[in-house]
Amino acid sequence: MPFIDELMKYGSCSIVGMEKNTGKTECLNYVLRRLPLDRIKVAVSSIGIDGETTDQVTHTAKPEIMLRESMYFATSEKHYLMRKVLSELLEVGNESTSLGYVVTAKALSNGKVLLSGPSSGSGLKRWMDSMKKYDVDLIIVDGALSRMSLASPAISESMILSTGAALSANIMNLVQKTAFMVEMINLDRTSDDNVLRFNDIMTGVWAVDDEGRLRDMHAASSLSPEFDTGDMQHCRTLFVSGALTDAFLNRLRRNMVFKGVELVVRDFTKIFVSPLTYRMFTGGGNRLCVMQKSKLIAVTVNPTSPNGIVLDSEKLCDKLSEAINLPVYDLKKNLCN
């Protein structure tokens, strides 16, 4: 597969699903099977829990994660004890999860494992940095788009997105939803100055006026009913630390202080807006940027949903590839565009 070669140009990659049962774990296993371990050292972990044999929500069968000999992996203490692979325990870290501390190990045989790695962005970054001492070339992260996740897949250098019939049973609707997600993943990164300015701000809404002064808008989040513009005549840049919503974008559009504003969020997983509201916001001369982004290298599809709906794989790949101008793969059928 061409995207395996592309993937190896980066030091890390997150594999994320737009919905449960869109083939994310299938994609992860596909990638792990094909990486040339004679040439590179590979480590794998997960944001949250992955690798269960049965989905805890839909109660449908799920593929387990298959490691190959020499791969490094991180999981919780509880799931490490449940592993079905011969391994060498390397370290028990300081990152604590609901299932115990995060354990780093090396597979000494092929075998299956449940992955439940660091659940925070800072914890995931620390674990990724810690793999440098083992001379790891590529880190694969089983990502999460869930609003409940505190760790963003955008922390990795590259990304593979999984979508499919579980997201929508209608091909055109599925293409539209996926294409908008791809657009959000590909948003421009804001300036280095803005990254430095906002990096340590964890709460609230903050503005930069035309004089370059940072102002607290006295709003806990974008969900706050009001924010305080004070005597500010015009806002050059606005930073939202948490989730971005339709209601917030509509409020900005109605306030002349924010005309032509650059709105900054931490990464694409913080964006919960509709395509229509986004188009209306940017159509007024505004722009949306992110502080963290990774390179989207491929999109995979699972044309089968848990309730038995099967979409036309070739048509889906064609339509989606045309819409996003990226390779689209049905990994089970090995179809690509």
* pLDDT tens digits along 178-188: 999 999 999 99
Percent of the chain with pLDDT over 70: 92
Residues 84 and 226 occupy one common structural domain: no
> Does residue 51 or residue 273 have the better pLDDT?
273
251 compared with 50, residue with greater pLDDT: 251
pLDDT confidence band for 313 (50 / 70 / 90): very high
Structure tokens at 20: 């449960």
> Do 265 and 312 fall within a single domain?
no
Q: What is the pLDDT of residues 58-107, one digit of tens each?
A: 444 456 899 999 999 999 999 999 999 999 999 998 888 888 999 999 99
CATH code, 158? 3.40.50
Contact criterion met (CB below 8 Å) for 40 and 13 = no
Are 48 and 151 in the same domain? yes
pLDDT at 57 over 80: no
Do residues 139 and 156 touch, judged by C-beta distance below 8 A? yes
Other Cβ atoms within 10 Å of 221 Cβ, number: 16
Consecutive H or E run containing 90: strand 87-97
pLDDT digits (tens, 9 = 90+) for 279-305: 999 998 999 999 999 999 999 999 999
Asked if pLDDT for residue 148 goes beyond 70, the answer is no
Asked whether residue 283 falls in the same domain as residue 302, the answer is no
Domain count, the chain: 2
> Is 156 found in the same domain as 270?
no
With 90 as the cut, is the pLDDT of residue 192 above it?
yes
107's CB contacts (< 8 A; 6+ apart) are: 67, 68, 69, 70, 71, 72, 73, 85, 86, 87
- 225 shares its domain with 155: no
Q: Is the pLDDT of residue 214 over 60?
A: yes
**DSSP designation for 308:** S
Q: Which helix (H) or strand (E) holds 300?
A: strand 295-302
Q: What is the pLDDT of residue 120?
A: 85
Q: Is the pLDDT of residue 51 over 70?
A: no
Mean pLDDT of 222-244: 87
Residues 20 and 102 in one domain: yes
SS3 of residue 25 by DSSP? helix
Domain range for 41 is: 2-186+293-336
Within this chain, do residues 201 and 331 fall inside the same structural domain, yes or no? no
Residues 284 and 322 in one domain: no
pLDDT, residue 1, reads: 59
What is the SS3 string spanning 97-139?
ECCEEEEEEEECCCEEECEECCCEHHHHHHHHHHHHHHCCCEE
